[in-house]
Amino acid sequence: MEAFLAIVHNMVMLIGIVYIAQLVVGVFNWPARENNPVYRLFRFLVSPITRAVRAITPAKIADKHVPVVAFALLFWLYVVLIFARLYVKRPELFQ
Write out pLDDT tens, residues 23-69. Answer: 999 898 888 888 999 999 999 999 999 999 999 999 999 999 999 99
pLDDT of 4 above 90: yes
pLDDT of residue 95: 82
What Rg do the C-alpha atoms of the chain give, in angstroms?
16
pLDDT of residue 52: 96
CA 2 – CA 31 distance, rounded (Å)? 44
> Do 57 and 66 meet the contact criterion of CB atoms below 8 Å apart?
yes
Q: What is the pTM of this model?
A: 0.87
pLDDT of residue 1: 87
Name the pLDDT band for 93 (thresholds 50, 70, 90).
confident
Whether the CA torsion 19, 23, 45, 70 is positive or negative: it is: positive
> Do 82 and 9 meet the contact criterion of CB atoms below 8 Å apart?
yes
